[in-house]
Structure 1
Amino acid sequence: MLYEFILERRMTLTDSIERCLKKGKSDEQRAAAALAAVLCIQLGPGIESEEVLKTLGPILKKIICDGTASIQARQTCATCFGVCCFIATDDITELYSTLECLESIFTKSYLKEKDTNVICSTPNTVLHISSLLAWTLLLTICPINEVKKKLEMHFHKLPSLLSSDDVNMRIAAGESLALMFELARGMESDFFYEDMESLTQMLRALATDGNKHRAKVDKRKQRSVFRDILRAVEERDFPTETVKFGPERMYIDCWVKKHTYDTFKEVLGSGMQYHLQSNEFLRNVFELGPPVMLDAATLKTMKISRFERHLYNSAAFKARTKARSKCRDKRADVGEFF
């Protein structure tokens, strides 16, 4: 890791990020916000990342709430501000203030009493989605009393977002609800939700959605996610996922861990696997223990040779060609009857 290198240049990096956030245009602000999040991930929790957050937090918050700023910049700032607070905040009042800031954004998508049954997407929808997901991430580190307060405030309003005509908003709302149910049942095993029948009907409809006006890709993606969400709400079940990185593997066995993993993966992209192997902070978050040290000989035995890789690719290519040939033959046979 570049921890020592970054630690020595923390002030320089923070100053550069601050300058880009204040004076840069949309793309510069987005890049600066992403760098701020990566900087906090590299530094981990501690005085250094707290100072980064104290310097950059107010600027990120200002951009998020600035109606004249670029939607894309506000969206990225919302995600990265949530990640920075998750890592670095040591002040509970600052955590609550961040939650309220994000709430003030995504609650604008809630159905009002006079509205129709469908929420129409707007250019701000992407910002509302990012704010909701960042808010949900921070909810996982709140004290129990604050979690209860937030659940009471949003449990009966959040389902209205399932009526959005934007597939990503529907999925974000559904996953946030599943996570909230998990938190509520973790605090009270006999937790009772008053509108359970109405909610499960909505979730079941989304899990089997055949609306012809929606794109096939969106419907396939939505049905897959909402089947898992419906199982979580009705049966308290979670389909365990396995993430492999190097010689290790991690099991994602709950909604809190899944949401945390998805958020950090969005920020780190292809670097997520490397950080899971080496970053002590992320390894602590996912309870992976200290980094596994492998010598050169072990690493060498783990790598397959170029010849073995060639044989594998050749076999896969032949199998794929045969499968496609059979499909072509079937189509040819069908064509002969017409």
Structure 2
Amino acid sequence: MGKRNSQRKCAAMFDTDDDSSVTSSSTSRSDMMSVYGGEDVQFYQDSVLDQALDALDEKRGSTRENALSSIIDAFNSNIQHDFVEKKFATLLHHCLASLKKGSKKASAKEISLASHAIGCLALTVGCGNNAREIFEESVRPLDESLASKSDVSKVPSLLECLAIITFVGGIDQEETEQSMDIMWRVIHPKLGSNVVAVKPSAQLITSVVSSWSFLLSTMDDLNLNSKNWQNQISYLSGLLDKEDRTVRIAAGEALALIFEIGTTEKFYTDSRSAEESKTQESYICLQGLKGKVINQCRNLSVEAGGKGSAKKDLNNQRNLFRDILEFFEYGYSPETSTKIGGDSLQTSSWSQMIQLNFLKHFLGGGFIKHMQENEFLHDVFDFTPKRKFNNNKQRMSGGEKRLFKSPNSVLNKARTQHLNKQRLQAEGRNFGHYAVGVPEEEA
């Protein structure tokens, strides 16, 4: 009974069909956490996370959606190590239940949110057994959900989730390639004889290429002499001629990355054996593809506009393809600097830049917090942030401290309710049938 009553309260807390209410509650939590600090913030977040986790058992889809939104918001606001240590398996199970076909009547929105939550969970646990479990348990449901054509709006989140869990939990290049193949099949499905191919949208192509490139950035020593990689280069080169600017940008970054981590010169030879002649032909073909890509990049770096719907991205496109052109012609990779609090995170390769941009997009508003406190990301980027305010605890102003100490504050009210509940339970133990330590009355 007690558990069910608790679940009803959780359902009431997250039960709403109004999307604006999710934003409002998320904003209020963020505002409150910016005022309160230290252990009290964690106390509040743990309470919200526990209630959200209970709400994932509810039958109503909108309740589960709102609960997942709250979980994602909490993971973005703080690194939830304590919660993950206690509830890791439960959270993963609930999120996978939303992905698995037939387990719930999950909407595309719920599937997207569950996918994002799994990605947040993987980044929080970092490398280790838990990350490995996430990868092993999630790849197949993600693959099956991607293969389902019921609603393409969920696909970007599924792709990002697959990219993140492979990035964190994959252990070798073979597993990375398998995940990349799953992504590629989204826009190049294996079709039966009577099945007509559906042309993928620009958004779908961009999502696939971006997630695929993110995983490609973890690989090295690509054999560009192989037919497979030449086909990939040829396909990406074709995307540079597409109307959509985001497609061209994603394809350009992927091509720069391929030529950064692959090598071509070593394939050239003056020998004339049959095998070596074949290698030389492949090398010449590859140089032809590279020359075509360079010409395309040169044209896109000076594009006058009018090609592509989002004109505001024109300067971004020009700058990117100028960087790509400089890389092809002079071998210089772009250098970037991202401000993280009082620190600067530097990148000096296409691999690092693509990883940084992908994680920044995935984490959204939680990016700075994770870069400051997530040790896994510190290792990825070899980044050591400055420690401020005693182990990263926020410093509060005098007004904030007065608000925090106010008897009308939310946290003080919650603490008072908790203490009152404990007192009532203690009284119940003293007067109940199984009272402990109560002396018997004399006859």
TM-score (norm 2): 0.59
Structure 2 equivalent of residue 334 of structure 1: none
TM-superposed deviation, 1:148: 6.6
Over 3 Å counting, the alpha-carbon distance change for 1:189 and 1:254 in structure 2 is farther
3-state SS of the aligned residue for 1:41? helix
Q: Tell me the alpha carbon deviations over residues 102-139 of structure 1, each in whole angstroms, 9 at most, x when there is no partner.
A: 2223457xxxxxxxxxxxx9663322221212111222
Structure 2 equivalent of residue 194 of structure 1: 288
Within 5 Å, give how 1:42-191 maps onto structure 2.
42-66=124-148, 68-90=149-171, 92-107=173-188, 124-142=201-219, 144=221, 149=226, 151-185=229-263
Counterpart Cα distance in 1 of 2:303 and 2:397: 44
Alignment check: 8 A CA contact 2:95 2:114 kept: yes
TM-superposed deviation, 1:51: 0.7
Over 3 Å counting, the alpha-carbon distance change for 1:233 and 1:49 in structure 2 is same
Over 3 Å counting, the alpha-carbon distance change for 1:147 and 1:4 in structure 2 is farther
Alignment-mate amino acid for residue 89 of structure 2? M
Over 3 Å counting, the alpha-carbon distance change for 1:178 and 1:244 in structure 2 is same
Q: Indicate the larger mover: 53-62 or 38-47.
A: 53-62
Q: Indicate the larger mover: 257-266 or 82-91.
A: 82-91
Structure 2 equivalent of residue 5 of structure 1: 83
Q: Indicate the larger mover: 273-282 or 222-231.
A: 222-231
Match of 1:261 among 339, 351, 356: 356
Alignment-mate amino acid for residue 159 of structure 1? S
Counterpart Cα distance in 2 of 1:186 and 1:13: 46
Counterpart Cα distance in 2 of 1:146 and 1:258: 22
Over 3 Å counting, the alpha-carbon distance change for 1:39 and 1:148 in structure 2 is farther
Structure 1 equivalent of residue 342 of structure 2: 247
Q: Tell me the alpha carbon deviations over residues 179-226 of structure 1, each in whole angstroms, 9 at most, x when there is no partner.
A: 111112599699973333322221111111124354432433322222
3-state SS of the aligned residue for 1:157? helix
Counterpart Cα distance in 2 of 1:250 and 1:186: 31
Over 3 Å counting, the alpha-carbon distance change for 1:183 and 1:92 in structure 2 is closer
Over 3 Å counting, the alpha-carbon distance change for 1:186 and 1:292 in structure 2 is farther
Counterpart Cα distance in 2 of 1:228 and 1:131: 23
Structure 2 equivalent of residue 331 of structure 1: none
Alignment check: 8 A CA contact 1:243 1:251 kept: yes
- How many residues matched? 291
TM-superposed deviation, 1:300: 8.7
Q: Does 1:25 align with 2:120?
A: no
Structure 1 equivalent of residue 372 of structure 2: 277
Counterpart Cα distance in 2 of 1:164 and 1:135: 19
Alignment check: 8 A CA contact 1:45 1:87 kept: yes
Alignment check: 8 A CA contact 1:78 1:127 kept: no
- Structure 1 segments, 4+ long, off by >4 Å, are 145-150, 185-192, 296-301, 303-306
TM-superposed deviation, 1:292: 3.8
Alignment check: 8 A CA contact 1:265 1:272 kept: yes
Identical columns (%): 23
Structure 2 equivalent of residue 15 of structure 1: 93
Match of 1:286 among 381, 385, 403: 381
Structure 2 equivalent of residue 212 of structure 1: 306
Alignment check: 8 A CA contact 1:75 1:127 kept: yes
Alignment-mate amino acid for residue 296 of structure 2? M
Over 3 Å counting, the alpha-carbon distance change for 1:159 and 1:5 in structure 2 is same
Over 3 Å counting, the alpha-carbon distance change for 1:98 and 1:201 in structure 2 is same
Over 3 Å counting, the alpha-carbon distance change for 1:259 and 1:92 in structure 2 is closer
Q: Which runs of 5+ in 1 are unaligned?
A: 109-120, 307-338
TM-score (norm 1): 0.76
Over 3 Å counting, the alpha-carbon distance change for 1:187 and 1:159 in structure 2 is same
Counterpart Cα distance in 1 of 2:378 and 2:346: 13
- Larger gyration radius, structure 1 or structure 2: 2
Q: Which runs of 5+ in 2 are unaligned?
A: 1-78, 190-197, 269-282, 400-443
